[in-house]
Every structure is written in C-alpha cells, then in structure tokens.
Amino acid sequence: MEPISFIIPSRNKLSYLKMCYDSIRKNAGYRHEICFADDASSDGTWEWLQEIGEKDNLVKYYRNPGPDREGLTILYDSLVENVATTDRLFFFHSDMYLMPDAAEEIDKYLEDGVVVSLTRVEPPLHPEGPEKIIKDFGVEPEGLKENDLIDWYNRYTPNQEITEGVFAPWAITRKDFESVNGHDIMFRPQSKEDSDIFNRLHLQGIKFKQTWKGLVYHMTSRGSRFNPMAGGDIGKDSPEWLYTTNKNMREFIRKWGTMVQHDKYMKPIVSPKYKIYFELTEDCDINLLRELEPWCSYLTMPGRDTLSQYIEEEQQHTDINLKDKLHQDCPNKDEWDILVQFNPFRFNNRSFQIISQLSDIIQDSGEVGEEFELDIFYILINRMTTYEKELVKCNIS
C-alpha cells in the first residue's frame, strides 16, 4: 500500500488526539504519515506533539502559536502545503477512532478522479441518516468501549459495499485537491468549508465513493460545537459554533445562491448560479435587508440610511464587498441576468421560499426575454447565463 497522509488539525482536544493517534497506529500500522496542527491550544497539545514526534518519525506537526485560532479551513491547507509529504491526503478529525481495515478500504478505491469516504459510526447525538450507522460506544475518549466496538465490528456485515456520497473523513489525491485550489478561506475558521469544496469537486467531475466496509467511530462535533473550551458541552452548542455556522451559511448562500444541498447519501447537489438583481420598490427595515442580501448579486432600494447602516454592521462578517453590491441606483444591464422586482412590505414566508428556490425555478421554466409575475415578484430574464462552474477554483490569498 502506498502511504497516506492523515491531515488532522486540533484545538484543545488532547484526550481525543491521543485516542485518534493510538487508533491509527493500532489499526493502520506505522506506514502512514500523520500530520497534526495545533491550533493555539492551551491544554498541553503542543508538548504532547513534540513528545510523540520524538518517538514516531512519521508524525509531523505544525503550530499556530495564537492567540487567535486559525481553524480547520486554513490549517487543513497549511498541513497539505507545508507538512504532508505524500500525494494521498486523508482529511481526518481528532475526535475519530480509525477502525481496523479502514486504511485498506481507502487504498482500494483512491485514485485520481475519485474521493473516498469512510462510513461513520456515531453515538446518538444527532439525527439518524442513511449515510451513517448509529451505535453508542461512548461519547468521550475516557468512556470509549473499545473492546465492545471491535467485537461489534468483527460481527458487522454491510448491506452494501459502496454508495455515492462524501463527508469527513475523506481521502483525495494531491493532484485533485490542488485542481480546485483547496479550501476557500471565505469559510474560515470553519463550517461549510467542506460543503463548499465538495460542490467544487463535484463540478470538477470528481466521483465520490463511500465504502461501507471501511469505518470510523466518530464522537462528533468536538472541534467547536460541543467543545467545552469554546463554551459548549455534549449536546450543547457553543456560542462560537452558533456564530460561525450562521456566518458561513450566509457566505455559502452568497457564493452559491442556495443553501447546502445534497441527496440522502450526502452527494452534493449544485443548482445553477445566476446574477440576480433585487429591485425593492420601497425601503425595508434592516432585518429584512439582512434576510434578502445573501440571495442576490445586486440590490437596490430608495433609502440610503438603511443601506449604509447595514453595510457598516455586516461588512465585518463577509469577504464580499457590500458597497459594490448594495445601491440606490439601478445597475447597468451588464451587471445582472435576472431582475426580481417587489415591494418589501408584501414579503412573507412564502416569498422567502420562492427566493430560496429561485435558481431552480428559473432553470426549470425560464426563457431569455421572458417576464412574468410570481407571488409578489415581477421577474424579467435578461440572460440565462450560469456561473457555478466559475466557482470551481477558489481564490488563493
């Protein structure tokens, strides 16, 4: 088997990191490289990495000295560019226990043009789904029922060998990873960076294979969501996670024109991306403007004060230049493809549902030059040009 580079950032999760490392060495041997990033931890992670690195010459490590964290989005790529030495990359989480035979399953399917995911076995902390297995073998390293887990695995027979989906942990060749320029720093420090790169790999023509013979036990969400160092706990969302997941969902909508979409096995669904122009015939309050702005490429309304206030408040939370996007004046037709004109005082929940599905509505029933009314909206189609394929390669900063 050619060696694989495990890519594992971690922040203040030393007990998980030790469990993760032990499982890789116990169940995949010493042929594979393990690349750790310490993200400004204060729990002894850096000292442990130095200690284990003295004993294991295939452990490589990097440190963000802080005080602020960099997050998964940046550290994944830092490890790939500056630490990992192989051409086979395996994006792994420190709250995961690698099961026996899992590395062999990755090796069986990994090649250029294919991303391979292991099947997650998880305790019942999140809703069930057809892409994973719910089994409770503990929610913290100290309580891991390792013998029971291995006994269960030795009796486990999958119902299928391969399905088409993608999620962590996932493996890719360096060539394919670099073909889309890695993760988009727009989604720093974390949240939706994986959904974004999966969209781009899908548009690049990469195939997804989830092996049901290769498993990982995943204690779930310990990086930020349930991390006590961030104010969370098991089953309790941290304020840090609530902020980043909301911020980056808004960034995802700005970039892709939809929320995250996938089928039941987590294969990405990518809708067409149009340049959509919202023309509000009356002023709206700042809360409605906050709801509307991510869903369009350009927005105008009569009042200057609300626009200025919104830009001042929101600009710090997005990489998009809002001064280029929000105006009082109607843009030149070259700036937009689809005009959506409406009175914001008539906007309601049904209106929002239409806005959130507008790309698919246009794709299914729109024609160039067509104008029509839908609910509160007057819609004019100037062009049917789509731009999602221009998003395949993220900008490198």
pLDDT value of position 220: 79
DSSP 147: H
pTM of the model: 0.94
Contact 130, 159 (CB under 8 A): no
Tens of pLDDT, residue by residue over 105-162, are 999 999 999 999 999 999 998 889 999 999 999 989 999 999 999 999 999 999 999 9
Q: Which residues pair with 207 in a beta bridge?
A: 114
Tens of pLDDT, residue by residue over 72-92, are 999 999 999 999 999 999 999
Tens of pLDDT, residue by residue over 339-386, are 999 999 999 999 999 999 999 999 988 788 889 999 999 999 999 999
pLDDT value of position 36: 98
Q: Which of 82, 87, 97, 78 is nearest to 32 (CA)?
A: 87
Say yes or no to pLDDT of 225 above 60.
Answer: no
Residue range 248-252: mean pLDDT, rounded: 97
DSSP secondary structure, 303-346, as one string:
-HHHHHHHHHHHGGG-SS-HHHHEESSPPPGGG-SEEEEE-GGG
pLDDT value of position 32: 98
DSSP 150: H
Contact 220, 229 (CB under 8 A): no
The residues, ordered by sequence, that sit 6+ positions from 336 with a Cβ below 8 Å of its Cβ are: 275, 276, 277, 297, 298, 382
pLDDT value of position 201: 98
- Give the span between the Cα atoms of 193 and 189, in whole angstroms: 9
pLDDT value of position 221: 61
Q: Write out the H or E segment, with its range, that includes residue 277.
A: strand 276-280
